[in-house]
């Protein structure tokens, strides 16, 4: 039975933060899992969960990147849509500044889904249970919601201050892929329909975000109250239409990353819309006013009107139609038109540490008559800081290099067939021959090799199939498979640094087709099995063993497939993702059938509290890890003091995956079922059955083999 030692905290926080799903049957949320981004998506147009997942026991990430790192980037985010109806400015928002985040009926959360509505999950991956040929990405979440309701559907809860809806309906589709060149962004595509009876003039769309970059393994969410949230620096890159946030002065050294929101493109009845493209010239009209506007405001700011929170529809519409990047002080602080005639460097101010929300709006779109539709796409883009030796607060272009490149990849993904990004279908661009621009067509690497991994004593065996070899690239329409690569992490990657598998995995072997003039011409002879092996119903053609490993330590291992690329299309060789095919493996003793000759033992002994393999976390006393080894396949381990007092009882079977010890939920896979053990080892957290911390000293243990009834005994030493 899994041990978790924060029940009291969950109970106390639960009183303050009730379960929104229990309160609202029309609310649904899921966390992305295909890419390296873990962001909560809801069916009411909000993103992130206000860190509720760390309070309600679900452990759902709000906006984590890289996956498993503990680095959170997003408190909450949501869409705004507004315009003028009969001369009145009306804004509907799906999320707004709220210290506790979303709750049914809370002011600012004005979009709702109908009773029983759920997020639909479809996938373009053939092997996925959610496979659908119409899916766009490896993991699509689809929802429909509107602002028409003035109370939460299925309840009697009124939505505060929401008395004048625009009557717009939104179809939301989020996309994320597990390719190595796209696993740092999530794209959200919106279709907005005017379901009302009035025309909406000068409509604008915006994505609001309350971003905060902190490492919750170093500083638990909310620790220090406002001090947890006021360490972020912000910025906006006009050329990329990208708003971003980073950790200016919080968990420095443990949060070296950026979070961004990027406008990708839009469409209305007049054509494609983007600030950098004059698409309306094709209709005889000139597009001189469609722009992106960036605004930011500080929580509880009362001293500078430029950063006041917009509290009325008129103020919100003003923020959507004119941003900080439209101010004279944005680029030239010495401009005489600056606020009150005083030099004000806006970019320097928002770059400093603070607790800010930001808004990235675009418009105006064409007036929306009843039944008219607007399409808009944004990307949540994440990136690791490109270190240049300077402090985070410098936030210079070199530090933002990866963010810029990742944002450009998100734009490439959106562009699809519109490869030159001019909003038109030019000759040679219609890859699917349907006569219109198809977006979200990405070049693809070979399929992920079907892989099976086994732990053994000081060894890991890796098997994989040949499914990658028949992959066809959708851009080139070629079967261009070239070879395989094996990757593994270095010893201690999980406890000595902030884990980031995209960088921690190091290539240890490579094999490719021999004699075709590409790559290293190694061939597959050394890894190809003479006779394919069938394991759990799957056939495997290759095997590679990694030897001389340390038992009890965690290693991540991955197998990828790569192709030849296509120089004619200026397409570099592509490689399947490592992150969706990695395994957390713990070498160790296999299940023991001869305990008389080879008795169970515990290691390390003596156990030094604070030893390297424990790692550092907020739950240090709960994250210790002593290993029992040479265990029978099914047994009971009992621990006693030297005086014979009972301490704890542990049930072990050969399918053990670490789910009863906190260390593995902190430093192992986010899904315990992905942890691979050897079958004869079991970890213990050095806590009693009553979760009491044990003292230093000598301890005894017994192992009862449930198959034979034999009991063997041993001892270990704890030093603190």
- Flag whether pLDDT at 448 surpasses 70: yes
pLDDT digits (tens, 9 = 90+) for 383-392: 999 999 999 9
Q: Which of 123-127, 141-145, 404-408, 508-512 has the lowest mean pLDDT?
A: 123-127
User: Which position has the higher pLDDT, 462 or 432?
Assistant: 462
**Fold match between domain 451-586 and domain 601-719:** yes
Q: What is the pLDDT of residue 440?
A: 92
Class of domain 451-586: mainly beta
Q: What is the pLDDT of residue 508?
A: 97
Q: What is the pLDDT of residue 16?
A: 36
Domain boundaries, the chain: 7-415, 451-586, 601-719
* 296 touches 350 (CB < 8 A): yes
Stretch 121-147: mean pLDDT: 93
Q: What is the pLDDT of residue 297?
A: 94
Q: What is the pLDDT of residue 212?
A: 95
- Per the omega criterion (within 30 degrees of 0), is the bond before 606 cis? yes
pLDDT digits (tens, 9 = 90+) for 652-674: 999 999 988 888 877 877 777 78
d(CA 694, CA 624): 11
Stretch 600-614: mean pLDDT: 87
| CATH number for the domain formed by residue range(s) 601-719 | 2.60.40.3080
d(CA 265, CA 31): 24
- Flag whether pLDDT at 223 surpasses 80: no
Query: What is the average pLDDT score of the chain?
Result: 89
User: Which position has the higher pLDDT, 476 or 220?
Assistant: 220
- Flag whether pLDDT at 221 surpasses 70: yes
Q: What is the pLDDT of residue 5?
A: 30
pLDDT digits (tens, 9 = 90+) for 259-272: 999 999 999 998 89
* 57 touches 195 (CB < 8 A): no
Stretch 601-606: mean pLDDT: 95
Stretch 241-246: mean pLDDT: 98
pLDDT digits (tens, 9 = 90+) for 313-326: 999 999 999 999 99
- Flag whether pLDDT at 6 surpasses 90: no
Percent of the chain with pLDDT over 70: 92
Q: What stretches of 252-333 show up as alpha helix (H) in DSSP? A: 313-321
Which residue, 19, 76, 79, 92, is CA-closest to 45? 79
Q: What is the pLDDT of residue 342?
A: 63
Stretch 187-216: mean pLDDT: 97
pLDDT digits (tens, 9 = 90+) for 538-578: 999 999 999 999 999 999 999 999 998 876 655 678 899 88
Give the pairing of strands 185-194 and 373-384. antiparallel
- Flag whether pLDDT at 125 surpasses 80: yes
Q: What is the pLDDT of residue 205?
A: 98
In terms of phi and psi (left: phi > 0; alpha: psi -120 to 50; beta: otherwise), the region of 626 is beta
Residue 238 Cα distances to 161, 228, 346, angstroms = 34, 29, 14
Tell me if the pTM is above 0.85. Answer: no
pLDDT digits (tens, 9 = 90+) for 260-306: 999 999 999 988 999 988 655 555 444 568 999 999 998 877 678 88
Q: What is the pLDDT of residue 224?
A: 67
pLDDT digits (tens, 9 = 90+) for 30-63: 999 999 999 999 999 999 999 999 888 788 999 9
- Look up residue 567 and give its two tokens: 């120089």
pLDDT digits (tens, 9 = 90+) for 524-537: 999 999 999 999 99
- Flag whether pLDDT at 13 surpasses 70: no
- Flag whether pLDDT at 712 surpasses 50: yes
- Flag whether pLDDT at 15 surpasses 60: no
Percent of the chain with pLDDT over 90: 69
d(CA 613, CA 628): 15
Q: What is the pLDDT of residue 22?
A: 52
Q: What is the pLDDT of residue 14?
A: 35
Q: What is the pLDDT of residue 143?
A: 97
For residue 421, the number of C-alpha atoms closer than 13 Å in the C-beta half-sphere is: 15
């Amino acid at each position: 039975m899994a041990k978790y030692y924060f029940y009291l905290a969950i109970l106390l926080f639960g009183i303050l933060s009730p379960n929104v799903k229990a309160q609202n049957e029309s609310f649904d949320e899921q966390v992305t899992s295909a890419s390296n981004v873990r962001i909560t998506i809801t069916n009411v147009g909000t993103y992130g969960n206000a860190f509720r997942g760390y309070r309600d026991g679900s452990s759902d990430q709000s906006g984590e990147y890289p996956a498993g790192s503990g680095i959170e980037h997003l408190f909450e985010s949501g869409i705004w849509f507004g315009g003028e109806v009969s001369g009145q400015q009306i804004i509907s928002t799906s999320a707004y500044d709220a210290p506790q985040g979303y709750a049914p009926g809370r002011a600012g959360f004005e979009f709702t889904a109908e009773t029983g509505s759920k997020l639909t999950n479809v996938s373009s991956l053939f092997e996925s249970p959610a496979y659908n040929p119409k899916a766009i990405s490896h993991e699509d979440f689809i929802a429909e919601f509107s602002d028409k309701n003035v109370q939460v559907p299925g309840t009697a809860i009124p939505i505060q201050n929401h008395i004048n809806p625009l009557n717009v309906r939104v179809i939301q589709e989020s996309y994320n892929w597990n390719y190595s060149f796209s696993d740092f962004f999530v794209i959200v595509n919106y279709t907005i329909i005017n379901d009302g009876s009035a025309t909406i003039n000068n409509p604008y769309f915006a994505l609001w975000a309350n971003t905060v970059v902190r490492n919750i393994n170093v500083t638990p969410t909310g620790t220090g109250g406002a001090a947890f949230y006021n360490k972020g620096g912000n910025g906006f890159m006009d050329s990329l239409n990208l708003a971003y946030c980073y950790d200016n002065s919080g968990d420095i050294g443990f949060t070296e990353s950026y979070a961004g929101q990027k406008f990708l493109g839009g469409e209305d009845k007049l054509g494609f819309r983007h600030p950098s493209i004059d698409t309306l010239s094709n209709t005889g009209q000139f597009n001189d006013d469609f722009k992106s506007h960036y605004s930011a405001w500080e929580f509880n700011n009362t001293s500078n009107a430029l950063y006041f929170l917009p509290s009325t529809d008129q103020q919100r519409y003003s923020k959507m139609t004119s941003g900080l990047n439209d101010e004279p002080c944005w680029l030239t602080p010495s401009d005489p038109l600056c606020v009150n005639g005083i030099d004000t460097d806006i970019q320097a101010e928002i770059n400093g540490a603070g607790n800010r929300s930001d808004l990235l709006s675009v418009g105006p779109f064409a007036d929306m008559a009843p039944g008219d539709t607007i399409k808009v796409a944004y990307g949540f883009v994440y990136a690791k800081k490109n270190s240049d030796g300077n402090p985070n607060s410098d936030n210079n272009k070199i530090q933002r290099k990866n963010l810029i490149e990742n944002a450009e990849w998100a734009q490439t993904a959106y562009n699809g067939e519109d490869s030159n990004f001019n909003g038109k279908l030019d000759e040679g661009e219609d890859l699917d021959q349907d006569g219109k621009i198809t977006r979200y067509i990405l070049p693809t690497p070979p399929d992920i090799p079907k892989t099976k991994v086994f732990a053994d004593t000081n060894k890991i065996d890796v098997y994989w199939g040949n499914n990658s070899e028949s992959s066809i690239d959708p851009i080139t329409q070629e079967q261009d498979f070239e070879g395989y690569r094996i990757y593994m992490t270095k010893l201690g990657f999980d406890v000595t640094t902030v884990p980031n598998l995209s960088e921690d995995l190091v290539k240890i072997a490579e094999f490719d087709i021999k004699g075709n003039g590409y790559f290293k011409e190694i061939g597959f002879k050394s890894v190809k099995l003479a006779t394919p092996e069938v394991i759990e119903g799957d056939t495997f053609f290759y095997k590679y063993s990694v030897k001389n490993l340390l038992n009890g330590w965690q290693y991540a291992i991955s197998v990828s497939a790569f192709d030849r690329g296509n120089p004619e299309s200026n397409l570099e060789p592509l490689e399947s993702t490592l992150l969706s095919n990695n395994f957390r493996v713990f070498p160790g003793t296999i299940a023991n059938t001869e305990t008389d000759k080879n008795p169970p033992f515990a290691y390390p002994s003596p156990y030094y509290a604070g030893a390297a393999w424990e790692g550092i976390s907020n739950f240090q006393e709960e994250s210790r890890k002593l290993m029992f080894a040479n265990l029978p396949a099914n047994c009971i381990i009992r621990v006693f003091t030297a005086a014979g007092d009972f301490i704890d009882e542990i049930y072990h079977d050969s399918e053990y995956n670490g789910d009863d010890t906190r260390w593995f939920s902190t430093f192992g896979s986010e899904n315990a079922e992905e942890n691979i053990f050897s079958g004869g080892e079991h970890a213990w957290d050095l806590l009693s059955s009553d979760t009491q911390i044990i003292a230093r000293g000598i301890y005894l243990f017994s192992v009862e083999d449930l198959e034979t009834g034999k009991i063997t005994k041993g001892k270990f030493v704890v030093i603190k």
